[in-house]
Chain A
Amino acid sequence: MKKLKYPIVMSLALAFIFIGCGDQRKSSNGALTSNVADRVYVAPGEHDEYYAFISGGFSGQLSVYGLPSGRLFKVIPVFSQDAEKAWGYNEETKPMLNTSHGFVPWDDSHHPDISQTNGELDGRWVFINGNNTPRIAKIDLSVFETTEIIEIPNSAGNHSSAFVTENTEYVVAGTRFSVPVPQRDMPISEYKGNFKGALTFISVNPEDGGMNIKFQLLMPGFDYDLSHPGRGNSHGWFFFSTYNTEEASTLMEVNASQNDKDFIAAVNWKKIEEYVNNGGGTMMPANYAHNVYDEETHTGTSTMKKEVLVVNPSEVPDAVYLLPTPKSPHGCDVDPTGEYIVGSGKLSADLTVHSFTKMLAAIEGKKYDGDAYGIPILKFEDVLAGTVSQPGLGPLHTEFDGKGNAYTTFFISSEVVKWKLGTWEVVDRQPCFYSVGHLMIPGGNSRKPFGKYVVAMNKITKDRYLPTGPEVTQSAQLYDISGEKMELLLDFPTVGEPHYAAGIAADIVKARSKKIFELKNNHHKYGIQSDADVRVERNGKEVHIYMSMIRSHFNPDNIEGIKVGDKVYFHVTNLEQDYDVPHGVSMIGANTSELLIMPGQTETFVWEPKQPGVWPFYCTDFCSALHQEMQGYVRVSPANSNIDLSWSLGE
C-alpha cells in the first residue's frame, strides 16, 4: 500500500492541473487568436524566420526545422549511421564514428548549442553531445554537416553538455554518471569517495572551430545533470546542476533522493584556465578518439589521443563552489544578464533562483557551510535571489525572453509557466500535450534571446496525431510569446525524442550557406578534376576505380577485368558545379549504402563481389531528364580468370 501512494498523488495532481488549464486556455483568447493559422503559415517559396536545431535523442542525429512553420528541412547525421547520406558507410565518414570502444555507429544526442561571439549567436557551428558513449560533435552551418567529433575520456553519460561560453572559448562536457577514474575493476559498493565526476572543458579554435580538450576537472562522485555558462558579469563561470550528492549506487530513485538539497556547482573556468596555462594540473594517461572531417579532402581522419590534463578542484583555491539547491535539481539555466541562475529542483515544490552577485559576496565573506571533498559549500540563504513559490509540479528547464521574463517547463503538470525575474510572480501558464521536457526560445542560451516564440519539446503525444501503432510520434509545440499571454500556435512532429533545441534567426545562417564545393579545391586523395583523369587501377586484390559523374552519365560506365575476391573501391567525383545537383551511386550487393555526392565532392565505397556475372550500378538521386539512363555495368570474372582490366564510356 505504501508503494502506491506516490503515483496516486501524481495522477490527482495531473488531473487537477489539466482541469485548471483547460479553463485558462479559453480565457487567454485575445483579439489575434482568430488567425493563428496565418501566423505559422509560410507561403510557397517563402522562407521561415528562424532555423530550429532540434536534437534527435536516441536517433543520434540533429534535425533542422523552420519556425514558425514547423517544417522539417534536414536530418543531419551526427552520431548514427545514416544510409541517406552514406554517413558512417562511406570510407570518408567511417572514421568519424570511431571511439576508444571501436566503431560505435549510434549515440543519444541531447543538447545542441550554437556558437557565440560576444554573447550573441554567430551561426557558425552547432555543438551537440552524445550522451551514451561520451562525445561532442561540431556541425558546420555553412554545409550543415558534422565536421568534428571528440570523445570524452573519464566520463560516462555525457549529459551536462554541450553548452558554449560567450565567445565559444569552450564547449563543456560534464559527466552524468561518476565512474572510477581511471577506469578499473573495483566493487560497485565502494562507489562513495572513489568514483569521480569529470567536467571537461573543450577549447574551440576561433578560426576553424577545431576542438581540443584543454582540461578535465575531477569533481566528487555526484551526477552532473545540466549546465549553463555565465554571461555578462558572470562570464568566466560555468554552472552545473548535480543530483545524487548522496553518492548512492543502487536504487537511485530512492537513495539519490534523500538529501533535501543537492548542489549547483559553480566553476570559475577562467581561474582554472590560468592555473593550467601556468603549468598546473596533471597529465594522465587516457585513450580517446578525435575525429576530424576535412572539407578539402572530403575525408575524415580519426586520431587516438593518449593523455588528458586533469585538475583536482582542491588544487585551485577559489575556483569551485557548491550552491545548495533543493531537491535533485535538473535544469540549470542562466538568464541573459548573467545575474540569475535558476535551479529546478525537480522534486521540490518551489523554483530556486540564485544570485551571482550574492554568490560573489558570500565567497568574499568566506561564509561557508562546510565543504565536500575540499570544495566549499556556500550557505543557501546567502546565495538565494528568490523563490518562485509553488509554480507547478516537476520543474525541469527555464528559458528567457530577454525582457525580464522566464519560462519554465513542468513535466508532471505538463505545462509552460511564465514568471517574472526579480518579483518571482507567476504571470501566465499554458498546457503542453503532453509531458514537456526542454523548451527553447531562439537565442535562449545567449545574451540576446529573440523572444518571439517558445518551442516546447514533449515526451508524449497520445491522441494529438493519427495513431501509428504503439509507437506514436514525439512532438514540439510552438507558442507565441510576443504578448503578455503565451499562445499555442502549432504542433509539429519531431525526429526521435527531442531533448533540447537551439534556434537562430535564419538570415544569420543563410548568408553563410554553401551552394557547391569548388572542384578546383577538391584535394581528396582519390578525387579527379576532369574526365581525363578517369581510370581503373589494380593493386594486388585491390581495384581502385576513379570515376566521374555528371548529368547524365558515369565515366567509365563499363568496367571489365574485376574478379571474385577483389576488393573494389569506387572513388566517385561529382563534376557538377551547379547548386542542388547531387548525384548518387549504388552497386548491387554492396554491404554499404549508396553514396550521395555533392557537386565538386568525392566519396568512396567498397564493394567485394562474391559471384561472377555482369552487375549493374546506377544513380540513386533523380538528377536530370536522363537520370534513369545514368547507369553502368561491372563484369566480374572468376578468381582465376585472366581477363585484363579495361574500362570505357560510349564504346
Chain B
Amino acid sequence: MKKSRIIMALAALLPLLLFVFPLWKITLEAPQYPTPLGMYIHINDFSDANPHDIKNINLMNHYVGMKYIPDAIPEFKIFPIGIIITTVIGLIIALKANHKWFLYWFIMMVLVSTAGLIDFYIWEYDYGHDLDPKAIMKFTNPDGSVMGFQPPFFGSKDILNFRAHSYPQLGAYCLALGIALGLISYFMGKKERN
C-alpha cells in the first residue's frame, strides 16, 4: 500500500480521538477561587474541571441573568455524527480514491471545522448576551449599551471580577493534525504519481 494512503487513513482516524480527549476548555479565575472554576467542552458533552464546577459557574452567572449551561445542546448530537461520517468518508477515500480526493476531503474538513467554530462562537455570543431581563445585577459598557459576558473565543479576557481563558485542548489538536495530514497525504500522493 502506498504511503499516502496510510497517511490519509491516519488523517481520517485522528479526529476520532475527540471521543477520548476534550475539544476546548474555559477557565474562570477570581481571587475568591483559589482553585479556578473550569469547564471542558467535549464533542458530545460539557464536563467539570473540578467536581461541581459547572454547577458553581451557573450559580455565579445567575447574578447577571445568564442561562444555565444546558445539560445537552443540539450540537452534542450533530457533531459526533459529523465526525463519524467524515472519518468513514476519509477511510473510503484512503482505500479506493484518487489522491485528488484527499484534497477534497481536506477542504471538506476545513469547511466543517470552520462551521463548528462559527457555531461555537454563536453559542458563546448567545450565552453571554441573551440575559434574563429580571437579572439581579445589570452592567453597562461605557457607551451605555448592556454589557455582555461572552467568554473569549480564543485567548484570555477580563469579565468583571473574573479572568476568563479559552483554549483548545488535546482533542482539537488531534482534529487539526488529522486535517493537516489530509493535505500532506494529497501532496505525497501527487509525488508518488509523478
Contact = CB atoms under 8 A, between A and B. Distances in A.
A550 interface: yes
Contact of B52 (A550, A551, A578, A626): A578
A75 to B, nearest CB: 25
Contacts of A550: 59
B52 A577 contact: yes
A8 interface: no
A4 interface: no
B98 interface: no
A576 B55 CA distance: 9
B56 interface: yes
Interface in B47-73: 51-52, 55-56, 59, 63
A576 B52 CA distance: 9
Nearest to B60: A551
14 contacts: A516-B52, A550-B59, A551-B59, A576-B59, A577-B51, A577-B52, A577-B55, A577-B56, A578-B52, A578-B55, A578-B59, A625-B137, A626-B63, A626-B136
Q: List 10 A-B pairs, minimum CB-CB distance, nearest first.
A: A577-B52, A578-B56, A551-B59, A577-B55, A626-B136, A578-B52, A625-B63, A550-B59, A577-B56, A578-B59
A394 to B, nearest CB: 48
Contacts of B55: 577-578
Nearest to B32: A580
Contacts of A577: 51-52, 55-56
A238 to B, nearest CB: 43
A367 to B, nearest CB: 65
Contacts of B137: 625
A226 B4 CA distance: 84
A578 B59 CA distance: 10
Interface of B: 51-52, 55-56, 59, 63, 136-137
Contacts of B59: 550-551, 576, 578
Contacts, number: 16
A324 B140 CA distance: 84
Contacts of A516: 52
A252 B18 CA distance: 81
A625 B137 CA distance: 10
A550 B68 CA distance: 15
Interface in A576-634: 576-578, 625-626
Contacts of B51: 577
Interface string A79-108: 000000000000000000000000000000
Interface in A248-276: none
Contacts of A551: 59
Contacts of B63: 625-626
Interface in A551-597: 551, 576-578
A66 to B, nearest CB: 18
A576 B59 CA distance: 9
Contacts of A625: 63, 137
B49 to A, nearest CB: 14
A619 B59 CA distance: 17
Q: Find the residue from B56, B59, B136 having the highest chain A CB count within 10 A.
A: B59
Contacts of B56: 577-578
Contacts of B52: 516, 577-578
Nearest to B37: A578
Nearest to A516: B52
B96 to A, nearest CB: 51
Given A550-B59, A578-B55, A625-B137, 10 more contacts: A516-B52, A551-B59, A577-B51, A577-B52, A577-B55, A577-B56, A578-B52, A578-B56, A625-B63, A626-B63
